[in-house]
C-alpha cells in the first residue's frame, strides 16, 4: 500500500474481537446475530480455531481481546479457556492485555467467575440493563434484578477489579425519574465502567414490529435529550468521566481500551459470525449466518461476506463522526496528518457558527463537543 495512504502511521497494536453467536433466548429489541441452537456450539468452536489459524500470517499481536456476543457466559469455563489458549497459540498477547467478557447476570456464579479470573479474563461486562423488573420484562431479558445484584457481588468477590454494567434507557413507559433510580442502584456497586445505551428499535426485531404497529410510543427527541443530560449529570456527580456518548468510567484507566480502537481507527480483527474487522483502510465482515460461517471455514476459505476499501474522504467523515462522540474530541493536527485534511481551515465558518451556538469548543488544537454538542453528536458530524 502507498504509505501516504496509511491512516495508522504510528502502527498501534490491533485489538481482537470474538463473537460468540449463541443466546438461550432472544431479547425483543436485539438486532445482534445470535442463534438459540446451542447444539451447534462444538462445530462453531472448531471453526473458530481454524479461523484463528487462517489469520496467523496477517495479525501478529493483540493488546485487547473482547469476547462478545451473543452470550459468551453460556460457555463452560473450559471452552473459554480453550478459546484464550487458541488466541495465545496463534498470536502474541501482550502481558498487560485487556481481556473482556460480556455476560448475562443469570449465568454468573462464584465458581464460574473464579474460573474466568484464573484463565486471565480481567474485565467483565454484565448486561444488567435495568434495576426495574417491569423494564426487564418489557425488554425480554431472561434475568431478574436479584440475579443482577448477586452477579455483581459475586464478580467482586471472585476478584474482578474492572466491572462494567450495561444499562438501557428510553424504554417505553420509563420516565427520567425511574431511570435515575436504576442509575442509583448501579452506582451503589461502584462499578468501574457504565455503558448507558438509549433503546433503539430496528424494524425487524419483535419490539420494533410492535412499535410500528403502534402498540407503544418511544420517547421523542426532547425526552431523549432529557434522559441524556440527566444521565451525564448524575454520573459525573457520582465521580464518573463521561468519556464517550454512551460510556462512563470511574477514572481514565477504566475507559474501555478495546472500544477505543473502534473510535480512533486502530486496527482490529473480528472472529466469528457477523464480526467486523478493520486494517489500514480496509474493512471486512463475516457471514452473519452461523451455517454459512462454518461451511466457508470447513471448505478452507475465510468466512468473509464482503470487503470495502475506504477512500480518504470516507475515512475523514468517519473519524469526525467518531471523534465528536468522544469527550477528548478531535486533535486538528493529528487529523491533518492522518486524513490529509485541514478541518480548521476548510470548515472555518461552520466551526465558528457551531462554537457560537454552544455545540463545540475549539481549544488547544482540539475540536471537541460541549455537553449540548455531546447530546446531538451524530448530527454534529454532518458538518
Ligand atoms: S442476550 Fe444480548 S445478544 Fe442475546 S438476544 Fe439478548 S441482547 Fe441480544
Quote the pLDDT of residue 61: 97
Quote the pLDDT of residue 2: 37
Output the residue whose Cα is nearest ligand 1's atom 7: 30
Confidence of residue 256 (pLDDT cuts 50, 70, 90): very high
Confidence of residue 381 (pLDDT cuts 50, 70, 90): low
Output the residue whose Cα is nearest ligand 1's atom 6: 27
This prediction's pTM: 0.94
Q: Which of 49, 125, 104 is nearest to 297 (CA)?
A: 49
Residues 6+ apart with CB under 8 A from 279: 14, 58, 267, 268, 269
Q: Of ligand 1's atoms, which has the minimum distance to the CA of residue 26?
A: 5
Q: Of ligand 1's atoms, which has the minimum distance to the CA of residue 31?
A: 8
pLDDT in tens, 298-355: 999 999 999 999 999 999 999 999 999 999 999 999 999 999 999 989 888 989 999 9
In the chain, the percentage of residues whose pLDDT exceeds 70 is: 96
Run of H or E including 81 = helix 77-90
Residues 6+ apart with CB under 8 A from 70: 19, 20, 21, 22, 23, 32, 33, 34, 102
Does residue 104 have its Cβ closer than 6 Å to ligand 1? Answer: yes
Angle, CA 202 vertex, CA 198 and CA 208 arms, to 5°: 95
Quote the pLDDT of residue 32: 87
> Is 276 a residue whose pLDDT tops 90?
yes
Distance of alpha carbon 211 from alpha carbon 320, whole angstroms = 32
Output the residue whose Cα is nearest ligand 1's atom 8: 30
> Is 9 a residue whose pLDDT tops 50?
no
Does residue 21 have its Cβ closer than 6 Å to ligand 1? Answer: no
Does residue 259 have its Cβ closer than 6 Å to ligand 1? Answer: no
Reply yes or no: is the peptide bond before residue 70 cis, omega within 30 of 0.
Answer: yes
**23 Cα: distance to centroid of ligand 1 (angstroms):** 6
Quote the pLDDT of residue 6: 44
**367 Cα: distance to centroid of ligand 1 (angstroms):** 36
Does residue 286 have its Cβ closer than 6 Å to ligand 1? Answer: no
Does residue 129 have its Cβ closer than 6 Å to ligand 1? Answer: no
Amino acid at each position: 500500500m502507498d504509505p501516504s495512504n496509511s491512516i495508522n502511521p504510528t502502527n498501534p497494536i490491533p485489538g481482537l474481537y470474538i463473537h460468540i453467536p449463541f443466546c438461550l433466548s432472544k431479547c425483543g429489541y436485539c438486532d445482534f446475530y445470535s442463534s438459540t441452537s446451542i447444539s451447534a456450539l462444538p462445530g462453531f468452536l472448531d471453526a473458530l480455531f481454524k479461523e484463528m489459524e487462517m489469520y496467523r500470517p496477517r495479525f501478529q499481536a493483540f493488546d485487547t481481546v473482547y469476547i462478545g456476543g451473543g452470550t459468551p457466559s453460556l460457555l463452560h469455563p473450559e471452552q473459554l479457556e480453550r478459546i484464550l489458549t487458541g488466541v495465545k497459540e496463534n498470536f502474541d498477547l501482550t502481558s498487560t492485555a485487556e481481556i473482556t467478557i460480556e455476560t448475562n447476570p443469570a449465568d454468573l456464579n462464584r465458581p464460574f467467575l473464579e474460573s474466568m479470573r484464573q484463565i486471565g479474563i480481567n474485565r467483565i461486562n454484565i448486561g444488567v440493563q435495568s434495576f426495574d423488573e417491569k423494564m426487564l420484562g418489557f425488554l425480554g431479558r431472561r434475568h431478574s434484578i436479584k440475579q443482577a445484584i448477586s452477579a455483581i457481588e459475586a464478580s467482586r468477590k471472585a476478584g474482578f477489579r474492572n466491572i462494567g454494567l450495561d444499562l438501557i434507557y428510553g424504554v417505553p413507559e420509563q420516565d427520567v425519574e425511574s431511570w435515575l433510580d436504576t442509575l442509583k442502584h448501579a452506582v451503589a456497586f461502584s462499578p468501574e465502567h457504565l455503558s448507558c445505551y438509549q433503546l433503539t428499535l430496528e424494524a425487524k426485531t419483535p419490539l420494533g414490529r410492535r412499535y410500528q404497529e403502534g402498540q407503544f410510543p418511544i420517547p421523542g427527541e426532547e425526552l431523549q435529550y432529557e434522559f441524556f443530560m440527566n444521565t451525564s449529570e448524575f454520573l459525573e456527580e457520582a465521580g464518573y468521566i463521561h468519556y464517550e456518548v454512551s460510556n462512563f468510567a470511574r477514572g481514565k484507566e477504566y475507559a474501555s481500551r478495546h472500544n477505543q480502537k473502534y473510535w480512533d481507527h486502530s486496527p482490529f480483527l473480528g472472529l466469528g459470525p457477523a464480526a467486523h474487522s478493520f486494517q489500514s483502510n480496509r474493512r471486512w465482515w463475516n457471514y452473519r449466518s452461523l451455517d454459512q460461517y462454518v461451511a466457508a471455514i470447513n471448505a478452507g476459505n475465510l468466512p468473509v461476506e464482503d470487503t470495502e476499501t475506504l477512500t480518504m474522504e470516507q475515512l475523514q467523515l468517519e473519524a469526525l463522526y467518531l471523534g465528536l462522540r468522544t469527550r477528548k474530541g478531535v486533535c486538528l493536527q493529528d487529523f491533518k496528518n492522518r486524513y490529509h485534511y485541514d478541518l480548521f481551515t476548510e470548515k472555518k465558518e461552520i466551526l465558528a457558527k457551531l462554537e457560537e451556538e454552544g455545540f463545540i469548543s475549539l481549544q488547544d488544537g482540539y475540536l471537541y463537543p460541549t455537553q449540548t454538542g455531546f447530546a446531538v453528536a451524530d448530527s454534529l458530524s454532518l458538518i
